[in-house]
Amino acid sequence: MKVQLRVLVGCLFFLGLLLSFHMPANAKTKFITIGTGGVTGVYYPTGGAICRLMNKIKKQTGIRCTVESTGGSVYNVNMIHKGELDFGVAQSDVVYQAITGTGRFAGKPIKDIRVVMTIHPELMTLVVRKDSGINSFVDLKGKRINIGNPGSGQEATSKVIFEYCKDVVSLKDFNPEYLKAAECPNALRDRKIDGYFYMVGHPTANIKEAADSLPIKLISLDIPCIEKLVADKPYYAWGEIPAGMYKGVDYSVKTFGVKATIVTSKDMDINTVYWMTKVILDNFDKFKKMHPAYRHLTKKDLLKGFDHRWIHPGAAKAFKEEGLL
């Protein structure tokens, strides 16, 4: 009995020592916010999954994490730069262009963006009403198509597509709309739009909502101008939306995509980024179960889709400890 008591006291003392080592008694709680996207996309639950894991260890780290629904990739990158968001989720094409000052960031690079890790693959998805008469990309002519709200990744990537494919269909050949992704399923059902582009992980609640409320089709984007785009840009890759993800879509869809990337500022402290990365690595199996879009993820995948010179040192520290970097 006495021995057990001594062991217990010893353990408690050791635990106390550990805790005090990680968080001084007078340390204040640090609040961090992750900017995501629309609530029915995959960014929002991704921010939620990361915060849930981080908040479980908040006594140890002193960090409290919250999620914000935002306009998407471009908005998140801009707000991190302005110091109004601590972290954000953004498409790897947007991250690449922001850091290198290319594409829509030509002449105005955002050099203070750093990468924590990439998460799920996102695919450029063209959702249309089944009775829209749209069977391929060229049929978009004369239709009302949502390309995405300003600040979203789909708006950014749609503009790239219509520039590359302008000989087939340009933005002037149809009526572009700029609705938020979360508004699209209703707009499609109410015939305010004929279709919408969404760069998103699959499955997503957004397209599920559309498929459950009206007959839809997903259109493949394997056309020559997009083949050229994917061949030209290092940050695009071909992918496939598997059959059976959504009601009525019992065929697979070939399209291209990017990777959802967690970003922060170079000024974010090493400790905070370290804990965010470590808690995901330490609880990877649990994390993978938090959204079906993570089903194929491996720890190694978290380092794919970006130039490793852009990694935040706090993330690099956690990946090195894990032997992955």
Q: Is the peptide bond before 203 cis (omega within 30 degrees of 0)?
A: yes
Pick from 32, 42, 126, 127 the residue near ligand GLU by CB under 6 A: 42
* Closer Cβ to ligand GLU, 67 or 199, answer by number: 199
Q: Is 194 in the site for ligand GLU (CB under 6 A)?
A: no
Stretch in the footprint of ligand GLU (CB under 6 A) among 2-10, 50-58, 197-205, 294-302: 197-205
CA 316 to chain centre: 20
The owner of tokens 């649990």 is 286
* Closer Cβ to ligand GLU, 47 or 314, answer by number: 47
DSSP 170-194: -GGGSEEE---GGGHHHHHHTTS-S
Asked if residue 114 lies in contact with residue 61, where contact means CB atoms within 8 angstroms, the answer is no
Alpha-carbon distance values, 76 to 6, 85, 207, 245, 289 (Å):
52, 7, 23, 28, 25
Pick from 86, 122, 177, 194 the residue near ligand GLU by CB under 6 A: 122
- Measured from the CB of residue 297, what is the shortest distance to ligand GLU in angstroms? 15
Which residues 72-111 are close enough to bind ligand GLU by CB under 6 A? 72-73, 91
Q: Is 199 in the site for ligand GLU (CB under 6 A)?
A: yes
CA 159 to chain centre: 19
Which residues 12-41 are close enough to bind ligand GLU by CB under 6 A? 37-38, 41
Q: What is the DSSP letter of 28?
A: P
Pick from 33, 43, 115, 280 the residue near ligand GLU by CB under 6 A: 43
Classified as helix, coil or strand, 92 is helix
Binding site for ligand GLU (CB under 6 A): 37-38, 41-43, 72-73, 91, 122, 152-154, 199-201
